[in-house]
Amino acid sequence: MAKLNVNPTRMQMTMLKNRLKTSERGHKLLKDKQDELMRRFIELVRHNKSLREDVEKELGDSFKDFLLASAVMSPEMLEEAVSFPQQNLTVDIQQKNVMSVNIPVMTFNTGDDEDANIYPYGYAHTSAELDDAILKLNNIMKKLLELAEVEKACQLMADEIEKTRRRVNALEHRTIPDLQETIKYIRMKLDENERATITRLMKVKEIIAKNG
């Protein structure tokens, strides 16, 4: 807590009081924002944990099928089977604003290939295990994209929480106490000046009375 370097005048005190009111109002708004950000962040983290567990389980199942497929197919045949996908897949990224945080919204775009076969091979020289692995991977793609979206949102929201926390602390522990201390100092100085003025007036009055 430190006194600001200002002249102890009534005008300065009025200006500082206005700044103090603005700072206190800003502190309350930022504190409310911080609390709401924390609430939403905790919800996102819980959703992220649940989603990651689902994705990891489903990916594990798909990888097991790939392992079985690699056991019954030669590496050359397996590589050739998956080398030429029939679907062209892109990701569209939009943004939505949540508490001043621009969170990505991701969706897959298959364009004109929406009805294309997910299996990039014929069935004559491939195994049923490879079919199962491809199908499971295809089914999990949307969850994978959602997981990426949620994890990025968690990261951005955590950054915003940290920035908001620093601003709240700066107002709470520096700006507002400094303004309060300075206003107290100016008020004390003004009171001293007023008492000094009254004392001088009384002395002048006494001198006038004696000479009268």
pLDDT digits (tens, 9 = 90+) for 38-68: 999 999 999 999 999 999 999 999 888 888 8
Going from N- to C-terminal start, the domains of the chain cover: 10-206
Query: What is the pLDDT, as a whole number, of residue 157?
Result: 94
Token duo for residue 13: 């005190």
Three-state SS at 85? coil
User: Cα(131)–Cα(118) distance, rounded to whole angstroms?
Assistant: 10
pTM of the model: 0.76
User: Cα(153)–Cα(167) distance, rounded to whole angstroms?
Assistant: 21
DSSP annotation of 174 reads I
Contact (CB, 8 A) for 122 and 80? no
Report CA 80 to chain centroid distance, whole Å: 44
What is the CATH topology of the domain spanning 10-206?
Helix Hairpins (1.10.287)
**Residue 4: exposure state from Cβ atoms within 10 A (0-12, 13-18, ≥19):** middle
**Residue 53: exposure state from Cβ atoms within 10 A (0-12, 13-18, ≥19):** exposed
**Residue 164: exposure state from Cβ atoms within 10 A (0-12, 13-18, ≥19):** buried
All residues at 6 or more sequence positions from 131 whose CB lies less than 8 Å from its CB, including other chains: 119, 123
User: Cα(102)–Cα(87) distance, rounded to whole angstroms?
Assistant: 30
Three-state SS at 110? coil
pLDDT per residue rounded down to tens, the chain (212 residues):
677 788 888 899 899 999 999 999 999 999 999 999 999 999 999 999 999 999 999 999 988 888 888 887 777 777 777 776 777 778 888 999 988 899 999 888 776 555 556 766 666 567 788 888 888 888 888 899 999 999 999 999 999 999 999 999 999 999 999 999 999 999 998 888 888 888 888 887 877 777 76
Token pair 């950054």 in the structure block, residue = 159
